[in-house]
């Protein structure tokens, strides 16, 4: 159970970290745009950006069709690992732009599919009380990730190093997700009532003890 909780936390942290990196990228670009001289021009290849963004729609479609047939854990493991591989490719700026566009598209597809599976899987693993506490803690951790992401994508690191670190986080999430308990095809009450079952078991033991004591008293 400790391993499952740690793995779920790692997967959720990776998911939140990926989203925060995207936010940091936009924030950093805006800051540079506003901070530079007015004569400075920054060009964007909106065509390639649109293609990579549209790939996230396919990611949702893949998650829908795989999450029940393949399973929650393997859907996350495969797509987080695929996203890690694409992040490594994106670290090499000298590669042809068409290849980078394909890599960016596949990366966004993979991370979206894996994130969708994570959002479905984690609520099925733990009862509401545990989910509420974990979400609070991980929300705080995600803000720390958003702060560090600003430094990660700055000029302090090379593009290869930046891609490598993002790939490491995504790969760690994929490995962690594989070791989670599979919930596909299971009754949710079996997963969410674990804590209450234990509590009920202890209460029933106390009740049995009280009944035994009452029987002894009656016999006397």
Report residue 193 as tokens. Answer: 């009532």
CA distance 188 to 126: 10
Whether the predicted pLDDT of 91 surpasses 50: yes
pLDDT of residue 106: 93
- Cβ proximity of 15 and 59 under 8 Å: no
- What string of DSSP letters covers 127-159? -HHHHHHHHHHHHHHHHHHHHHHHHHTSTTS-H
Q: What is the largest CA-CA distance in the chain?
A: 99
Per-residue confidence band for 58, with pLDDT thresholds at 50, 70 and 90:
very high
Q: What share of the chain is helix, strand, coil (3-state, %, to 5)?
A: 80, 0, 20
Q: CA-CA distances (angstroms) from residue 188 to 96, 123, 128, 145? A: 48, 10, 12, 32
Residues across the chain: 220
Work out the number of other CB atoms within 10 angstroms of the CB of residue 82. 20
Say if CB 76 and CB 20 are below 8 A apart: no
Taken in order 208, 212, 213, 218, the sign of the CA dihedral is positive
Q: What is the pLDDT of residues 139-196, one digit of tens each?
A: 898 888 888 888 887 778 888 888 898 899 999 999 999 999 888 888 766 665 544 4
Statement: residue 30 has pLDDT above 70: no
Using pLDDT thresholds of 50, 70 and 90, give the confidence band for residue 61. very high
């Amino acid at each position: 159970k400790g391993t499952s909780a740690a793995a779920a936390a790692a997967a959720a942290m990776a998911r939140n970290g990926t989203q925060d990196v995207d936010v940091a990228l936009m924030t950093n670009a805006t800051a540079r745009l506003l901070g530079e001289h007015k004569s400075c021009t920054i060009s964007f290849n909106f065509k390639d950006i649109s293609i990579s963004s549209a790939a996230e729609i396919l990611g949702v479609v893949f998650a829908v069709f795989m999450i029940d047939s393949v399973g929650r854990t393997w859907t996350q493991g495969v797509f987080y690992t695929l996203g890690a591989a694409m992040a490594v490719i994106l670290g090499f700026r000298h590669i042809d732009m068409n290849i980078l566009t394909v890599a960016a598209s596949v990366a966004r597809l993979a991370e979206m599919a894996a994130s969708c599976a994570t959002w479905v899987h984690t609520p099925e693993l733990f009862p509401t009380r545990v989910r509420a506490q974990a979400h609070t803690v991980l929300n705080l951790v995600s803000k720390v990730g958003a702060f560090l992401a600003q430094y990660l994508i700055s000029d302090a690191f090379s593009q290869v190093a930046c891609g490598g670190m993002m790939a490491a986080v995504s790969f760690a999430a994929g490995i962690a997700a594989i070791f989670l308990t599979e919930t596909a095809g299971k009754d949710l009450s079996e997963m969410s009532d674990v804590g209450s079952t234990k509590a009920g078991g202890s209460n029933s033991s106390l009740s049995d003890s009280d009944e035994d004591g009452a029987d002894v008293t009656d016999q006397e």
